[in-house]
Structure 1
Amino acid sequence: MIHPETADPEALRTAMTDQLVREGAIRSKEVEAAFRTVPRHEFAPEAPLAQAYSAHEAVPTKKNEHGITISSVSAPDVQAMMLEQAGAQAGMRVGEIGSGGYNAALMAEIVGPDGSVVTIDIDPDVTSRARQLLDRTGYGTVQVALADAEHGIPDTGTLDRLVVTVGAWDIPPAWTDQLAEHGRLVVPLRMRGLTRSIAFDRDGERLVSRSAEVCGFVTMQGEGEHAERLLLIRGKEIGLRFDDGWPADPDALNGVFDTDRVEKWTGVTVAPREPIKGMQMWLAAALDGFCLMSVDTDLDTGLVAPQNRRANITLLDGDSLAYLAIRRTADGAEFGVHGYGPNADRVATSLVEELQKWDRDHRQDEPVIYVYPASTPEADLPAGRVITKRHRRLVISWPQEGQVSKSTVTEKEK
């Protein structure tokens, strides 16, 4: 084992890459070679070597006045995942939205001297830093531009791959306008509060997903910025986060947690470390009152016991709500539901039924996510949950048997 305080950067880089290969984050020889070559620590001079080469740790590079990170060098496992999703090859033209320098250098290694890489950011501090670091490390051929990504990458022709490394709420037309026919867009896209890194292949005027992975990124700035809305309950202890579907009468929830709790257990179990991203997407697509609950750890009184205190699946219906809970079993855990409010039993039952439906019909499935222009008529869309944004209509579509019925959500600009 290498001790991080005494090892040199090359040994740490080798150990990090070996770990990513063992864990399956790196699967291709092209991505592996790039990670073994690019000196990550040179793009994260703010961090100790051990942090720079930690396989699962991001390095913040800029924070706003509230101490919130607005730019970072993403964690290596996330960068590897997205590069594998992109599947860039030698000689390709690749664009990146969200600069830092390191990821662009990895791309430059992958596409080689016959390819090209251009990276943009809206923040002049970020682009200036990226330019300096790329020049210093020998990647001067990477183009760096200051621009608002809402309007695409300026002075750039057709791209074979476009990789977005900031959290996006929508997909501007400029992004697909620059994609070659059969080109690929990789973007951390937020849908009903859930973010997935999605690899979309272009298919004429629409995009079709080929993979989707759980991720988290700093959010888009500029014209494409879109903030969630937060409804605070019991002071600031508990919050409900909405991408869409803001309650018609938020005051109806006053005192909701003063009612008796209803508990229901589903019989749906999960093994240790078993991924449940498909379950989350199923519930987001199936439930009209879907939102996410957050509990402030500093103010937590233990009143609620959600499965996830940062972003817990919740179903809201007027003056009542129900949220996802969990309890240990001998060989894993079982999902349950806690309900509150005058109609707690009914709302909790609805959430239980959808959990059981996912377990019965779609446990091994992942949805296909389609992206169409916002002007596309409802009749021309495939079956599934339709989410209408500013530029696009997204459809979360599952295999036909037991599929979510077609329903529509309009995510209005806030």
Structure 2
Amino acid sequence: MTEATVDHAAELRSRLTGELVAAGHITSALVEAAFRAVPRHEFVPAGTPLEVAYNADESVVTKKDEHGVLISSVSAPFLQALMIEQAGVGRGMSVLEIGSGGYNAALLAEVVGPEGRVVSVDIDPEVTNRADAALKATGYGSRVTVVSADAEYPVPDGGPFDAIIVTVGAWDIPPAWLEQLTPTGRLVVPLRMNGITRSVAFRREADHLVSTSAEVCGFVAMQGAGEHAERIFRLPDAHGRHIDLRFDSGAPENASLLDGVLATGRTEVWSGVTIKHRVSFADLHLWFACFLPGFCRVAAEEGTELAGESGTWFPYGIVRGDSFAYLAVRPALEGAGAEFGARAYGAHGEAAAAAMVEQIQAWDRQARRGPEPTIAFWPVGSDHTQIPDDAAVLTKTHGLVTISWPAS
């Protein structure tokens, strides 16, 4: 790398850090110093343009499987900053990173300092070998221990850790993570809740975990013993193209009822609930995941009628027997915003659309303008009588996740 290239990388790194501070993703001096120090471009694949490596919002793919599906990446800088801040990592702490890439572990090593400890674990030896080589090449080899193992189980000679940061999408929280966490430690995990993922910072409260913050995020799904596959129903249209309905849980027992559903007439129902452009409504998706039976994610193959209507719908749906509906929008507020509604296919499509619209209106009345929901994890054996009566409850293998929405 030429001297000019090194200087350009340093300039981009400084600019990136300034952007993250200005956006509020970095809030502490330690994390800011780490981002200014660690050369992110040394941890992405060779040939990656510096402008891509130092783009605040862009992750960088490091590995795909034989089908071209992404299985490893260096996460977007804004998200890495958010998660380190969520974890409250500080000088002298012991930190476990689940999901290796090298760069995030180097950031953590800078934050905890020489007196701290960082362990990075990944199930894929190719990923850990690459991370270990990059860490050694950048001077962090002695400051980060890289382990190749399935983190569903305790890391050999690992804990206890003051913070555990999970950088892969997790469907559940295995007992090993709690066993390795100090009593006052913080767990930050991209937790999948009925198909909707949030980076949740948890702290202990008696026999369970309670969220201190939750951020919208997206991550590569966990592999190994903690993997949880979605169920996918493919609906063909008249031209042999497909719409996929992806269920994290609660998949219909008789999917054959949906055979030929795309050949039926489409109906729509509108809610009267509006939103201005460029205003987030991510909590609506989580509300659906909590309170909309039959909830699923929707993906439209290129060439389908739905794919051709880009910008008028969002990939969240509901199945009711022989019909399904999906979240739609139409212009409102004199062109300055949109109205939420639902479009549907099937003999009972209008009822499916109405069920979705009912929850849009409930979210607008009860949660939209209120505080953020509280997310809790109740391990097997915890006292479930303490779960609030109005909480949404999602059943996992190792416990229950509850989501409580304070009244607006």
Tell me the TM-score range normalised by the shorter chain: over 0.9
Equivalent pair of 1:376/1:393 in contact (CA under 8 Å):
no
Counterparts of 1:243-322 in structure 2, within 5 Å, are 243-296=248-301, 298-302=302-306, 305=309, 312-322=315-325
The AA in structure 2 aligned to 1:341 is G
Q: How far 1:382 sits from its partner (Å)?
A: 2.4
Gaps of 5+ in 1: 403-414
Identical counterparts, % of pairs: 51
SS in 2 for 1:151: coil
Find the aligned partners of 1:117 and 1:170 in 2 and give their Cα distance: 23
Paired residue for 2:69? 68
Paired residue for 1:405? none
Change (3 A) 1:302 1:369: closer
Change (3 A) 1:322 1:28: same
Change (3 A) 1:299 1:160: same
Paired residue for 2:358? 353
Find the aligned partners of 1:5 and 1:308 in 2 and give their Cα distance: 43
What is the Cα-based RMSD across aligned positions, in Å? 2.0
Paired residue for 2:39? 39
Paired residue for 1:407? none
TM-score of the superposition, structure 1-length normalised?
0.91
Change (3 A) 1:398 1:196: same
Paired residue for 2:341? 336
Q: Is structure 2 residue 121 aligned with structure 1 residue 114?
A: no
Find the aligned partners of 2:241 and 2:6 in 1 and give their Cα distance: 45
Q: How far 1:83 sits from its partner (Å)?
A: 1.1
Gaps of 5+ in 2: none
1:233-258 deviation per Cα after TM superposition (whole angstroms, max 9, x unaligned)? 01542010001111111010112222
Counterparts of 1:49-88 in structure 2, within 5 Å, are 49-88=50-89
Paired residue for 2:376? 370
Change (3 A) 1:367 1:290: same
Paired residue for 1:134? 135
Q: How far 1:32 sits from its partner (Å)?
A: 1.0
Q: How far 1:277 sits from its partner (Å)?
A: 1.6
Find the aligned partners of 2:369 and 2:85 in 1 and give their Cα distance: 22
Q: How far 1:275 sits from its partner (Å)?
A: 1.3
Equivalent pair of 1:306/1:324 in contact (CA under 8 Å):
no
The AA in structure 1 aligned to 2:213 is S
Paired residue for 1:411? none
TM-score of the superposition, structure 2-length normalised?
0.92
The AA in structure 1 aligned to 2:380 is A
The AA in structure 1 aligned to 2:325 is A
Counterparts of 1:50-199 in structure 2, within 5 Å, are 50-139=51-140, 140-199=142-201
Equivalent residue pairs, number: 396
Find the aligned partners of 2:308 and 2:45 in 1 and give their Cα distance: 42
Change (3 A) 1:112 1:229: same
The AA in structure 2 aligned to 1:135 is K
Find the aligned partners of 2:165 and 2:147 in 1 and give their Cα distance: 15
Q: How far 1:115 sits from its partner (Å)?
A: 1.2
Paired residue for 1:387? 394
Find the aligned partners of 1:52 and 1:213 in 2 and give their Cα distance: 22
Find the aligned partners of 1:64 and 1:237 in 2 and give their Cα distance: 23
The equivalent position to 1:396 in structure 2, one of 382, 386, 403, is 403
1:316-374 deviation per Cα after TM superposition (whole angstroms, max 9, x unaligned)? 11112221101123211111111222222222222111101111121123211110113
The equivalent position to 2:212 in structure 1, one of 210, 213, 216, is 210
Find the aligned partners of 1:209 and 1:248 in 2 and give their Cα distance: 33
Paired residue for 2:221? 219
1:6-50 deviation per Cα after TM superposition (whole angstroms, max 9, x unaligned)? 962101101111122222222222211110111111111421212
The AA in structure 1 aligned to 2:156 is P
Q: How far 1:379 sits from its partner (Å)?
A: 3.8
Change (3 A) 1:11 1:303: closer
Change (3 A) 1:304 1:386: farther
